[in-house]
């Protein structure tokens, strides 16, 4: 996504310079199954970008390249998209749920408050959800939090029958039922925090954020106080457990690392993706 905003959005240059925002997804190999965390934009969004809505397209300026969709990247990695049995979403915003239709057989796991909010949003939140992205009728698995703990956070353990540890951790504020998704990689936890924060320095000590990104989060957020409260908890988590937990968020390109960055900047959609 290439919004105007330059360094005010974490890029470089003046207010009309193009910034780059990613929509990170995680692919987890769990025995014979694949688990996808978030879906970004999907092939149907690329085929008809209009369904994303004019305000989103004008503001965020998504590039809509089919080669960058999760399903095509999975194919390029030599894996079969039909093995994606489960999709876990941080939330159902337009830039996170777009690829759901590319995995029509997958069970879709979501924190319980998010689905009713997405299906029946109040007027001011109607633009953020695109019902066409789940019009195929996925099998939803709505998760309530039931007493599990993860590094002091409430959580719910997912997919216990698979050979992987995944925890859904409520991080409310950005949307009604927003969650982070923690995956035990065997070498520490990788914690996909979705849109709980937008810039890596927001969970640094001391925290900071480019002003444009801060404004954007305030405008689109569901509950500002809750969001800030949870950002504070994430900052403490990153500080106290820096050897155990690696945090990433959806939209900061820094998490792609140098190789991913080079691919992105050259637009080399056919390049070998990092695994």
Residues engaged in binding Zn ion (CB under 5 A):
93, 95, 195
Cβ(173)–Cβ(185) under 8 Å? no
Minimum distance from residue 93 beta carbon to Zn ion (Å) = 5
Measured between alpha carbons, how far is 132 from 137 in angstroms, rounded to an integer?
A: 10
Between 8 and 198, CB nearer to Zn ion: 198
Minimum distance from residue 161 beta carbon to Zn ion (Å) = 30
Between 93 and 102, CB nearer to Zn ion: 93
Minimum distance from residue 16 beta carbon to Zn ion (Å) = 22
Nearest to 153 by CA among 124, 131, 182: 182
Between 93 and 202, CB nearer to Zn ion: 93
Minimum distance from residue 75 beta carbon to Zn ion (Å) = 24
Nearest to 36 by CA among 101, 144, 113, 108: 108
Minimum distance from residue 84 beta carbon to Zn ion (Å) = 20
Between 30 and 39, CB nearer to Zn ion: 39
Measured between alpha carbons, how far is 53 from 273 in angstroms, rounded to an integer?
A: 29
Question: For the sheet containing 148-150, what is the strand order?
Answer: 148-150, 153-158, 166-170, 179-184, 189-192, 245-248
Minimum distance from residue 85 beta carbon to Zn ion (Å) = 24
Between 72 and 96, CB nearer to Zn ion: 96
Show contacts of 80-85: CB within 8 Å, 24+ apart. Answer: 83/32, 83/33, 83/34, 84/27, 84/33, 84/34, 84/35, 84/36, 85/33, 85/34, 85/35
Minimum distance from residue 194 beta carbon to Zn ion (Å) = 7
Tell me the residue ranges of DSSP E strands in the chain: 26-30, 33-37, 84-88, 107-111, 139-143, 148-150, 153-158, 166-170, 179-184, 189-192, 245-248
Between 159 and 178, CB nearer to Zn ion: 178
Q: Which residue has the tokens 């099998």?
A: 139
Between 28 and 213, CB nearer to Zn ion: 213
């Amino acid at each position: 996504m290439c919004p105007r905003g330059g360094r005010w959005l974490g890029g470089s240059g003046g207010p009309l310079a193009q910034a780059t925002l990613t929509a990170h997804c995680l692919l987890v190999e769990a025995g014979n199954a694949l688990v996808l965390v978030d879906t970004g934009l999907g092939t149907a969004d690329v085929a008809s970008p209009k369904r994303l809505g004019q305000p989103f397209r004008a503001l965020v300026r998504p590039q809509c390249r089919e080669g960058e969709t999760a399903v095509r990247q999975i194919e390029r990695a030599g894996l079969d998209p039909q093995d994606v049995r489960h999709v876990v979403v941080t939330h159902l915003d337009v830039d996170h749920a777009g690829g759901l239709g590319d995995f029509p057989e997958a069970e879709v796991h979501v924190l319980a408050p998010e689905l009713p909010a997405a299906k029946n949003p109040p007027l001011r939140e109607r633009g953020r959800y695109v019902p066409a992205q789940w019009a195929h009728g996925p099998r939803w698995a709505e998760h309530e939090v039931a007493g599990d703990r993860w590094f002091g956070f409430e959580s719910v353990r997912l997919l216990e029958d698979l050979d992987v540890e995944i925890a859904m951790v409520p991080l409310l504020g950005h949307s009604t039922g927003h969650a982070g998704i923690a995956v035990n990689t065997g070498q520490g936890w990788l914690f996909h925090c979705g849109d709980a924060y937008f810039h890596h320095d927001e969970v640094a000590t001391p925290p900071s954020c480019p002003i444009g990104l801060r404004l954007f989060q305030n405008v689109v957020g569901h509950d500002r106080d809750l969001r800030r409260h949870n950002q504070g908890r994430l900052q403490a988590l990153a500080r106290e457990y820096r050897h155990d937990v690696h945090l990433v968020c959806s939209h900061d390109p820094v998490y792609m690392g140098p190789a991913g960055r080079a691919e992105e900047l050259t637009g080399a959609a056919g390049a070998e993706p990092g695994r």
